[in-house]
Amino acid sequence: MKNRMRDLRALRGWSQAFLAEQLDVSRQSVNAIETGRYDPSLPLAFRIARTFALPIEQIFDDEP
């Protein structure tokens, strides 16, 4: 599943470590999600959406 997390994070000037802290996950998780190696669960996807103050579908794209 594609996502815009890296771009959104860069727009806000946040580091991976800062985002990881906000989401209460490891920096490895943020990195794995950003690089598309891991698709987050629904609860984590909601936390990500809340952190960026955006709807989930503006962050994640399930289209191939």
Residues that bind another protein (CB under 8 A): 10, 13-18, 24-29, 31-33, 35, 37-38, 40-41, 44
DSSP states of 1-58 as a string?
Answer: -EE-HHHHHHHHT--HHHHHHHHTS-HHHHHHHHTTS-PPPHHHHHHHHHHHTS-GGG
Nearest to another protein of 28, 58 (CB atom): 28
Nearest to another protein of 1, 63 (CB atom): 1
Shortest distance, position 1 Cβ to another protein, whole Å:
14
